[in-house]
């Protein structure tokens, strides 16, 4: 037991030492910043998967773990689009998810933000040209913020959300 404690104290903390995003991942459009003036204290988003490979969802889930802990910044994940301020859409829009995406967009109360997360949501990524894909998210609903990457790192997502809200993140 003492051997394990001694080794732990000697090694120190080895988790959570992820580098910051070197460059701003997302140029935030002024119109999107104007919309977020209402959400300065908290932002609740609903994640919508429209046909991705689930890599972006895994990175979104990592935001809620103790390493990144987005709750400390006042950013929450909603289970219903009716309780959300923003939609985070991942993946290209497939034939089967086109109507569902438009329904979720209509159910989200105004003012709302739409964030296209990942290359697939922005320009169909590796799914471009597939018979099952109807196009990027922007073809179906208006997009306010684009976060590129395949998949974008949690630190980049967190930085983009902090920039959107006009705050500095601690990462």
Q: Which helix (H) or strand (E) holds 34?
A: helix 30-35
The verdict on residue 39 lying in a domain is: yes
Q: Which range has the worst mean pLDDT, 4-18, 24-38, 111-125?
A: 24-38
**More reliable by pLDDT, 24 or 89:** 89
Q: What are 49's strand-pairing partners? A: 90
Q: Of 115, 124, 129, 123, give the one whose Cα is nearest residue 157.
A: 115
The verdict on residue 10 lying in a domain is: no
The verdict on residue 27 lying in a domain is: no
The verdict on residue 20 lying in a domain is: no
CB 74 within 8 A of CB 32: no
> pLDDT for 38-93, tens place per residue?
556 678 888 888 888 888 888 888 888 888 888 888 888 888 888 888 889 998 88
In the chain, the number of structural domains is 1
State the CB neighbour count (10 A cutoff) for residue 135: 14
* pTM above threshold 0.85: no
The verdict on residue 17 lying in a domain is: no
The verdict on residue 16 lying in a domain is: no
Give the range of the structural domain holding residue 118, as residue numbers without chain letter. Answer: 32-165
> pLDDT for 122-162, tens place per residue?
888 888 888 888 888 888 988 888 888 888 888 888 888 77
How far does Cα 152 stand from its chain's mean position?
Answer: 9
State the CB neighbour count (10 A cutoff) for residue 95: 12
The verdict on residue 18 lying in a domain is: no
Q: How many residues comprise the chain?
A: 171
CB 20 within 8 A of CB 158: no
Over 50: is that where the pLDDT of 21 sits? no
| Backbone CA torsion sign across 71, 18, 86, 35 | positive
The CATH number linked to 132 is 3.40.50.12280
The verdict on residue 19 lying in a domain is: no
Q: Which range has the worst mean pLDDT, 51-65, 92-106, 108-122, 154-168?
A: 154-168
Instruction: Grade residue 169 by pLDDT with cuts at 50, 70 and 90.
Output: very low
């Amino acid at each position: 037991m003492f051997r394990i404690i001694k080794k732990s104290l000697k090694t120190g903390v080895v988790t959570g030492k992820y580098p910051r995003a070197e460059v701003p991942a997302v140029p935030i459009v002024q119109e999107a910043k104007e919309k977020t003036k209402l959400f300065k204290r908290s932002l609740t988003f609903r994640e919508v998967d429209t046909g991705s490979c689930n890599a972006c969802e895994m990175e979104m889930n990592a935001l809620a773990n103790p390493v990144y802990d987005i709750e400390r910044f006042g950013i929450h994940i909603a289970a219903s689009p009716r309780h959300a301020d923003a939609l985070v859409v991942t993946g290209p829009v497939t034939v089967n998810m086109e109507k569902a995406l438009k329904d979720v967009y209509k159910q989200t109360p105004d003012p709302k933000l739409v964030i296209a997360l990942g290359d697939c949501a922005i320009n169909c990524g590796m799914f471009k040209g597939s018979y099952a894909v109807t196009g990027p998210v922007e073809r179906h609903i208006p997009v306010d913020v684009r976060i590129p990457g395949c998949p974008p790192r949690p630190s980049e997502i967190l930085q983009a959300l902090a920039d959107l809200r006009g705050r500095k993140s601690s990462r």
